[in-house]
Structure 1
Amino acid sequence: MIDIKVPARICFYGDHQDYLGLPVIAGTINRFIQLKAVPNATNNFAIKLLDLNERVTIAVDDALKNVQNGDYFRSCMAVLKEKGFAFEQGYDIEIAGNIPVNAGLSSSSALVVCWLRFLVKIQKKSIAVCDIELGHLAYEAEAVYFKQPGGIMDQYTIAQGGMLFIDTETGKSGKLSTQLGTLVVAESGISKQTLEVLQNARVYAQNAVEAVQKRVPEFKTSAATVSDYEKYRGLVPDKFQNHWYATIHNYDITRKAQAELSKSTPDIKVLGDLMNQHQEILQNQIQNTPQEMIKMMNAARKAGALGAKIIGSGGGGCMVAITTDELKNRVIDAFLASNAVNAYEVQLT
């Protein structure tokens, strides 16, 4: 039997930065998608999606033409076939997990990485694919293949695991401390609006940067400092001012968080404050946070959360809070009392 287990991810700092080539800090948590497979006597991948009570059947020699939007099973196969992979043996496959769907914890990217690991594993000729390469394959199959606006963060984080600082311009990553205190995830019960939020945020941010570069060709976001916000804001049209602010200041917050998480003993109060600063930009400049979720996070802070933020592209989904072990139950209760549908402690994997 083939047994593959892939984690969910949380972006802690740098939301809406990866598609600008700016760094992010993200980590994997102990929520998983699991795939179990055994060979069968057919020419098909017979897939049971246990949580959805659905079945998918794909011929191993499927032509993979006109793949429907969001059909990641076939898009993964298509991307691998283009690179010389082959599929010859059918399998009975069961997929299940405890990652909330459409909630900001990257259930779709976890599924893509899990499926790709399976497809690589079943090759008759052993092919070495490192975690970074797998992350890039997942990005191709999920975002590039369907021309979606997201960056590489989700796929690269899930494929590599741990707490990572990812340079999204080069694809290089480095391990960071996992000492973020006690982490609580809360599910808002509000459906995420991934593509709409991402598309608007990406276009506005890119237009803001391009407006500056049109007049200052040597300007690079990767070399930007907080002083550049005021220095160049007069070059940015009013329509894109919020996203110009977000681009510069979120980058600064991410670099400060990287510095703190590079210490042997990070200060979780500093990390919590940086998380709150990041969330203020997400809700005020990028405007990706519903008022109901803002109230939930404010309640969590009053109960003892040092920091709290929305997870993922926004419009709904989950939130994460940094707290202490002593106060975690109060934070969980505060989320639930303010109408979150679920809240629980998670650990970085």
Structure 2
Amino acid sequence: MINIAVPARICFYGDHQDYLGLPVIAGAIDRYINISAVPNNANHFEIHLKDIGTQRSIDLHDSLENVTEGDYFLSAIAILKKHELQLKEGYTLEIQGNIPVNAGLSSSSALTVAWIRFLLTSQEFPLGWTNKQVGHWAYEAEVLYFNQPGGLMDQYSIAQGGLIFIDTQTGESTKLNRGLGTLVVAESGLPKKTLEVLKNGRVYGQNAIKSIKEQYSDFKMENAQANDYEKYKHLVPSAFLEHWYAAVHNYQITKKAKTELLKAEPNPEYLGDLMNAHQMILQNQIQNTPEAMIGMMDAARKAGAFGTKIVGSGGGGSMVALTSEENKETVIEAFLSQGAKDAYEVNLISL
């Protein structure tokens, strides 16, 4: 039997930045997608998705000529076949986990990474691979293959584990101190709107930067400073101005968080302040946070959380709170009292 366990992820700083070529800080948490598989002496994969009560079969000899949008099982096979993956043996798989679906914790990317790890483990693959490479193949399968608007943060952070600063232009990752503090995840119960929010964020952000580069061809977003918002805003069409503000200031927040998380003993209260500043931009400029979730996070902060933010693309989904061990239960109760579907402690994990 083959057993694969792949974690969920949380983006702590840099949401809606990776598709602009700007860095993010994200970490893998102890919620998992699990695959258990046994050979079935057949020419197909029989996949049982236990959590949603469905199953499907994939022929080992599928031509992959008509892959349906969002079919990451087939797109992942197509990507790996470009690197000489050979499907030689059929398996029966059971897939289940405790990552909430459509809640911003990247259950879909965790499943894609888990599927790729299964294929590499169970089939003939002539090349070696690293965790970073697994993340890149998952990014190719989910985003590039279908020309979708997301970035690479989800796949890279899930595949590599720990808490990392990801340079999204190069894919290089820097390990950070996992001593953020105590973490609480709350599920709002509101479905997120991934592609709609990501598409708007990406198009508006890229158009804002493009309008500046049309006048200053040597401008590089990775060199932007806080005062560049005012310096260049007269060049940005009004429709994109809020996303220009978000791009500049979220970038500064991410850099400050990286500096703090490279210390031997990071200050959780300072990191909470940075998280709150990031959330204010997400809800005011990116406009990805429903009023109900704003109320839940306000209650968590009043209950003692140092910082709170929405997780993932937004429009719904989950939230994370950075708090102290002594205030953990109070923060959980605050989320629940304001209508959260569930709330619980999570921990950052290494692979």
- Using structure 1 for the length normalisation, give the TM-score: 0.99
The residue identity in structure 1 corresponding to 2:208 is A
The residue identity in structure 2 corresponding to 1:330 is T
The residue identity in structure 1 corresponding to 2:275 is M
Q: Which whole-Å CA distance do the structure 1 matches of 2:252 and 2:127 have between them?
A: 40
Question: Structure 1, residues 86-116: CA drift from partner, whole Å, max 9, x if none?
Answer: 1010001111000000110000000000000
Matched, 1:109 2:109: yes
Residue 160 (structure 2) aligns with: 160
Between 293-302 and 61-70, the greater mean CA deviation after superposition: 61-70
Question: Structure 1, residues 21-79: CA drift from partner, whole Å, max 9, x if none?
Answer: 00000000000001011111111101111111111100111111211112111111111
Q: Is the 8 A contact 2:21 2:169 kept in 1?
A: yes
Matched, 1:119 2:133: no
Matched, 1:258 2:258: yes
Residue 228 (structure 1) aligns with: 228
Question: Structure 1, residues 106-143: CA drift from partner, whole Å, max 9, x if none?
Answer: 00000000000011112335531111111110001011
- Give secondary structure in 2 for the equivalent of 1:96: strand
Q: How does 1:230-309 map to 2 (within 5 A)?
A: 230-309=230-309
Give the root-mean-square deviation of aligned CA atoms: 0.8
- Give secondary structure in 2 for the equivalent of 1:304: coil
Residue 202 (structure 2) aligns with: 202
The residue identity in structure 1 corresponding to 2:325 is D
Q: Which whole-Å CA distance do the structure 2 matches of 1:337 and 1:266 have between them?
A: 30
Give the ranges of 4+ consecutive aligned residues of structure 1 lying more than 4 Å apart after TM superposition: none
Amino-acid identity (%): 60
Matched, 1:132 2:154: no
Q: Which whole-Å CA distance do the structure 1 matches of 2:82 and 2:180 have between them?
A: 41
Q: How does 1:144-159 map to 2 (within 5 A)?
A: 144-159=144-159
Residue 28 (structure 1) aligns with: 28
Runs of 5+ consecutive residues of structure 1 not aligned to the other structure: none
- Give secondary structure in 2 for the equivalent of 1:327: helix
Q: Which whole-Å CA distance do the structure 2 matches of 1:69 and 1:303 have between them?
A: 43
Q: Is the 8 A contact 1:51 1:96 kept in 2?
A: yes
- Give secondary structure in 2 for the equivalent of 1:215: coil
Q: Is the 8 A contact 1:15 1:24 kept in 2?
A: yes
Runs of 5+ consecutive residues of structure 2 not aligned to the other structure: none
Q: Which whole-Å CA distance do the structure 1 matches of 2:196 and 2:96 have between them?
A: 28
Residue 169 (structure 1) aligns with: 169
Residue 340 (structure 1) aligns with: 340
- Give secondary structure in 2 for the equivalent of 1:264: coil
Q: Is the 8 A contact 2:84 2:126 kept in 1?
A: no
Q: How big is the shift at 1:227?
A: 1.2
Q: Which whole-Å CA distance do the structure 1 matches of 2:71 and 2:275 have between them?
A: 34
Question: Structure 1, residues 194-215: CA drift from partner, whole Å, max 9, x if none?
Answer: 0000000100000100111111
- Give secondary structure in 2 for the equivalent of 1:285: helix
How many equivalent residue pairs?
Answer: 349
- Give secondary structure in 2 for the equivalent of 1:191: coil
Q: Is the 8 A contact 1:120 1:127 kept in 2?
A: no
The residue identity in structure 2 corresponding to 1:259 is T
Q: Which whole-Å CA distance do the structure 1 matches of 2:124 and 2:83 have between them?
A: 15
Q: Is the 8 A contact 1:272 1:308 kept in 2?
A: yes
Q: Which whole-Å CA distance do the structure 1 matches of 2:228 and 2:54 have between them?
A: 52
Q: Which whole-Å CA distance do the structure 2 matches of 1:20 and 1:204 have between them?
A: 10
Between 314-323 and 75-84, the greater mean CA deviation after superposition: 75-84
Q: Is the 8 A contact 1:76 1:116 kept in 2?
A: yes
- Using structure 2 for the length normalisation, give the TM-score: 0.98
Matched, 1:85 2:85: yes
Between 84-93 and 309-318, the greater mean CA deviation after superposition: 84-93
Residue 41 (structure 1) aligns with: 41
Residue 187 (structure 1) aligns with: 187
The residue identity in structure 2 corresponding to 1:182 is T
- Give secondary structure in 2 for the equivalent of 1:183: strand
Q: Is the 8 A contact 2:31 2:99 kept in 1?
A: yes
Question: Structure 1, residues 4-29: CA drift from partner, whole Å, max 9, x if none?
Answer: 10000000000000000000000000
The residue identity in structure 1 corresponding to 2:121 is K
Q: Which whole-Å CA distance do the structure 1 matches of 2:255 and 2:32 have between them?
A: 29
Q: Which whole-Å CA distance do the structure 2 matches of 1:257 and 1:208 have between them?
A: 25
Q: Which whole-Å CA distance do the structure 2 matches of 1:8 and 1:298 have between them?
A: 25
